[in-house]
Amino acid sequence: MVETKAIKIKHKSLFAGLVLLLLFFTTNIFAAEITFIASVNKNPVGTNEQFSITYTLNTQGSNFQAPTFRDFNVLSGPNQSTSMQFINGNMSQSVSFTYYLTANSEGTFRIDPATITVNGGKVKSNTLTINVVKSQKAQSGAQQQKSNDADAGISSNSVFLRVSVNKSSVYRGEALLATYKLYTKVNLVNYSIDKLPALNGFWSQELKMPQQLELTTENYNGEMYRVGIVKKVLLFPQQSGTLTIEPMEGSCIARIQTQRKRSNNPFDIFNDPFFNDPFFGSAQDVKVNVKSLPVKITVKDLPQENDNAFKGAIGSFSLQATTDNDKVKANDAINLKIKISGKGNLKLIDAPEVEVPTDFEKYDPKVSDNTNISESGVSGSKTFEYLLIPRHEGEYTIDPIKFTYFDLDKKQYEQLQSSAFKITVKGISGDASAAQSVATSQNKTDIKLLGKDISFIKTGKLTTKPATTFYLSGLYYLLVAIPFAALILLILYIRKRNRLAGDAEYMRSSRATKMAHKRLSIAKKMIDAKKDDAFYEEISKAIYGYASDKLNINFSEMTKENLRQKLINRNIPDALTERIIATIDLCELARYAPLTQNNNTQSIYTEAAAIITELENYLNK
């Protein structure tokens, strides 16, 4: 029995050893079958030259982790693709991750391994050593890109960016629609806008677009393309002559299917056309740079117009002017509301002139607009509310409100005119009115006090209070000083108002900071409301508006190049100038290409506030 038990134990030990040995060899075999290889498409590479690194795994994996690429600029990636192959009748599947990079400086750089999880364990790729040499200048960047695209099988008419306009000849101030379209014959994985078009000489209004690029089919020059609208913008030319819509630049990641090469072996079953289907090939992601062509616009000047009521309005409009009250007391407020409705350059219309009697005080209007922006233009209404305060009683007349615009359909000027306003001002309001009421009722009060003018003599202990002298007391000096202080403040106010009325540049400069902080306050609210588009628009308006008012630049001439030159002329440090231009570019790019932006709105708000404060300090020196 003991011997039999020993034999059983020996057999069990032998069996366990065989199992462990089998598992060891099986594990090694499977481990040997797993390959995770890093490869580069060219080495050495030139500085600023695009190259790609691909990590290929011959099985399925998860949790891919790429190295940092700290010595390189990552243009795109990871771009994942999967391929299938048949080897000896067995199907195998592999997955690859591709990055597109550039190097800024020469030298030899090491790229650490990437990692991926396979069957619960981590697998590392090999390391790469990249030699970066000085870029060859014999071949331009454009030629190199064309060569790369050609190697990838992408011709110049396979993917391109095109801008079209609905009008090529317009009047100054007349709206035209510019549409940017992306045309492709190949599959696109992603696209981005790298450089926004310069719109010098135009005032622009962006149309809202879907977050995702929607592709439709279009016949262009006799060929069928899949087309996506990247951007639509309404343009209002602010000067006559020939203006240019500068190109928009972008980049796309195109996924190209590569077919399996045919062998010369007539017995190779993979020479069958069935296996030339792209399904059995591999996919390659290629970056393609796209750039639209510039478009020339002929801008005609408006006919000569001597009417001072013309404020640059172009389109078709109607006028409505009303007051909330035509019978008031002196010092009571009157609201005069002027509403201009129609279609045209509503957002650029200035307030109509309002002539009031000399006994009226007029304040700057409150402006509000209710507009709708569409491909056909801007429509809706713009309202100007004037606050008027009559100072003396009497019968007054406010002259009719006149509004002149250029009718695009009739090709002539049209003038709209409201009726005159008759205002009756009676008495006075406030404390003076109350005093007058007391004076008129004095007799009744006196009658009520009759019989109360004799009082009984009070008995008891007599107490007296020390007499106080008002003359030469602190209150006396305070009351004497108040009129003189009020007179000085009144003189300063009148001098400032006269200066503002006679010096438009000083008026704009004095209100610049106030308006900029108002815009920043609105932008702060947009952060809390998570309205990113409105936030970037308000930040851009705050910087542009402050610079326009402070540097006395006409809005129609407000371009980044002009702004940069004005800042240089005012000896603003180059570092601050570049921060201003960079912030403006960031806001514009975030508004027009939200898919490519991932910015911290709070940091942008802080930067904009700091820029305006620093610029204020330099300009006030």
Would you say 154 and 184 are in contact if contact means Cβ atoms under 8 Å apart? no
Would you say 79 and 41 are in contact if contact means Cβ atoms under 8 Å apart? no
What separation in angstroms does the CA of 607 have from each of 311, 511, 512, 540? 36, 21, 18, 12
As a whole number, mean pLDDT of residues 544-568 equals 79
Above 60 in pLDDT, residue 559?
A: yes
* Domain final position from 406, 428, 450: 428
The tokens 């195109």 sit on which residue?
254
Above 80 in pLDDT, residue 590?
A: no
Above 50 in pLDDT, residue 286?
A: yes
The CATH number given to whatever domain includes residue 113 is: 2.60.40.740
Highest mean pLDDT out of 5-14, 142-151, 239-248: 239-248
Nearest to 347 by CA among 559, 589, 555: 555
Nearest to 215 by CA among 188, 239, 241, 235: 188
Q: Does residue 439 belong to any structural domain of this protein?
A: no
Both tokens assigned to 5: 């038990």
pLDDT of residue 386: 92
Q: Does residue 441 belong to any structural domain of this protein?
A: no
Above 70 in pLDDT, residue 206?
A: yes
What gap in Å lies between CA 237 and CA 203, rounded to an integer? Answer: 6
Residue 40: exposure state from Cβ atoms within 10 A (0-12, 13-18, ≥19): middle
Would you say 619 and 577 are in contact if contact means Cβ atoms under 8 Å apart? no
Same-domain check for residues 67 and 109? yes
DSSP 259-325: PPPPPS-TT-GGGSGGGGSGGGSEEEEEEEEEEPPPEEEEEEPPPP---TTEEEEEEEEEEEEEES-
What gap in Å lies between CA 189 and CA 375, rounded to an integer? Answer: 29
Q: Does residue 152 belong to any structural domain of this protein?
A: yes
Same-domain check for residues 51 and 27? no
What is the band of 434 on the pLDDT scale with cuts at 50, 70, 90?
A: very low
Would you say 301 and 342 are in contact if contact means Cβ atoms under 8 Å apart? no
How big is the chain by its Cα radius of gyration, in Å? Answer: 39
Above 70 in pLDDT, residue 396?
A: yes
As a whole number, mean pLDDT of residues 341-360 equals 88
Percent of the chain, pLDDT > 70? 72
As a whole number, mean pLDDT of residues 185-205 equals 83
What is the band of 446 on the pLDDT scale with cuts at 50, 70, 90?
A: very low
Same-domain check for residues 53 and 129? yes
Above 90 in pLDDT, residue 336?
A: yes
Same-domain check for residues 410 and 292? no
Above 90 in pLDDT, residue 537?
A: no
Q: Does residue 516 belong to any structural domain of this protein?
A: yes
Q: End-to-end CA distance of the chain: give it in Å, rounded.
A: 110
* Domain final position from 278, 299, 320: 299
What is the band of 31 on the pLDDT scale with cuts at 50, 70, 90?
A: very low
As a whole number, mean pLDDT of residues 53-63 equals 84
Phi, psi for 608 (deg, rounded to 5): -65, -45
Same-domain check for residues 214 and 354? no
Same-domain check for residues 157 and 131? no
What is the band of 321 on the pLDDT scale with cuts at 50, 70, 90?
A: very high
Above 50 in pLDDT, residue 442?
A: no
Would you say 95 and 7 are in contact if contact means Cβ atoms under 8 Å apart? no
Same-domain check for residues 217 and 287? yes
What is the band of 323 on the pLDDT scale with cuts at 50, 70, 90?
A: very high
Q: Does residue 466 belong to any structural domain of this protein?
A: no
* Domain final position from 105, 138, 171: 138
CA dihedral over 496, 502, 506, 510, signed as positive or negative: positive
What is the band of 143 on the pLDDT scale with cuts at 50, 70, 90?
A: very low
What is the band of 422 on the pLDDT scale with cuts at 50, 70, 90?
A: very high
pLDDT of residue 264: 57
Both tokens assigned to 313: 């309005």
What is the band of 180 on the pLDDT scale with cuts at 50, 70, 90?
A: very high
Phi, psi for 411 (deg, rounded to 5): 55, 40
The CATH number given to whatever domain includes residue 373 is: 2.60.40
69: β partners: none
DSSP 192-242: EEEEPPP-TTEEEEEPP--SSPPEEEEEETTEEEEEEEEEEEEEEE-SSEE
Question: Lowest-confidence range among 109-118, 259-268, 465-474, 560-569?
Answer: 259-268
Same-domain check for residues 326 and 396? yes
**232-254, pLDDT tens digit by residue?**
999 999 888 999 898 888 888 88
| Cα within 13 Å of Cα(579), Cβ side | 16
Both tokens assigned to 378: 């801007």
Same-domain check for residues 388 and 255? no
Would you say 362 and 160 are in contact if contact means Cβ atoms under 8 Å apart? no
What is the domain extent for residue 210? Answer: 143-262+269-299
Helices (H) and strands (E) in the chain, counts: 10, 31
Q: Does residue 464 belong to any structural domain of this protein?
A: no
pLDDT of residue 479: 83
Same-domain check for residues 162 and 289? yes
CA dihedral over 20, 25, 29, 35, signed as positive or negative: positive
Q: Does residue 478 belong to any structural domain of this protein?
A: no
What is the band of 157 on the pLDDT scale with cuts at 50, 70, 90?
A: confident
Same-domain check for residues 156 and 207? yes
Interhelix angle for 474-502 vs 504-528, to 10°? 100
pLDDT of residue 320: 92
The tokens 């050593």 sit on which residue?
129
As a whole number, mean pLDDT of residues 7-20 equals 47
Q: Does residue 476 belong to any structural domain of this protein?
A: no
As a whole number, mean pLDDT of residues 109-118 equals 90
Would you say 52 and 100 are in contact if contact means Cβ atoms under 8 Å apart? yes
What is the band of 429 on the pLDDT scale with cuts at 50, 70, 90?
A: very low
What is the three-state SS of 377-430? EEEEEEEEEEEEEECCCEEEEECCCEEEEEECCCCEEEEEECCCEEEEEEEECC
Question: Lowest-confidence range among 94-108, 270-284, 499-513, 559-573?
Answer: 270-284
Q: What is the DSSP letter of 470?
A: -
Above 60 in pLDDT, residue 548?
A: yes
As a whole number, mean pLDDT of residues 123-129 equals 90
Interhelix angle for 532-550 vs 560-569, to 10°? 40
pLDDT of residue 503: 52
What separation in angstroms does the CA of 555 have from each of 153, 286, 348, 404? 47, 42, 10, 21
**Count of domains in the chain?**
5
CA angle 53, 56, 61 (to 5 degrees): 130
Same-domain check for residues 94 and 6? no
